[in-house]
Amino acid sequence: MTARGWFLFSLMGVVWGIPYLMIKVAVDAVSPPVVVFTRCALGAVLLLPFALRQGGLPGTVRVHWRPMLAFAVLEIMGPWFTLTDAEQHLSSSTAGLLIAGVPIVGLLASRLFVRGDAERLGARRLAGLALGLGGVAVLTVPHLTGGDARSLAEVLLTVVGYATAPLIVVRRLKDVPSLHLTAACLTLAALVYAPAAFLTRPAAMPSASVLASLAGLGVICTAVAFVAFLELIKEAGPTRATVITYVNPAVAVAAGALFLHEDLTPGVLAAFALILTGSVLATAAGPRRIPRPVRWPVRRAGAAAGRVESP
* In a domain? residue 201: yes
> Which of 38-47, 168-177, 285-294 is most confident?
38-47
Measured in degrees and rounded to the nearest 5, phi and psi for residue 309 equal -130, 145
* In a domain? residue 300: no
Which is higher by pLDDT, 198 or 122?
Answer: 198
pLDDT at site 252: 75
Q: 250 is in which domain, residue-wise? A: 3-283
Measured in degrees and rounded to the nearest 5, phi and psi for residue 39 equal -60, -50
* In a domain? residue 298: no
* In a domain? residue 115: yes
Nearest partner of 132 among 246, 292, 11, judged by Cα = 246
- End-to-end, the C-alpha distance of the chain in Å comes to 42
pLDDT at site 74: 95
pLDDT at site 311: 45
* In a domain? residue 81: yes
Side-chain half-sphere CA neighbours of 143 within 13 A: 22
Question: For the chain, how many structural domains are there in total?
Answer: 1
Rounded Cα gap, residues 165 and 238, in angstroms: 9
% of the chain with per-residue pLDDT over 70: 78
Rounded Cα gap, residues 108 and 188, in angstroms: 29
* In a domain? residue 305: no
* In a domain? residue 309: no
Rounded Cα gap, residues 165 and 76, in angstroms: 9
Q: How high does pLDDT run on average in the chain?
A: 80
Task: Say if CB 103 and CB 245 are below 8 A apart.
Answer: yes
Q: Is 262's pLDDT higher than 60?
A: yes
* In a domain? residue 177: yes
Interaxial angle between packed helices 123-144 and 149-172, expressed in degrees from 0 to 180 and rounded to the nearest 10 = 140
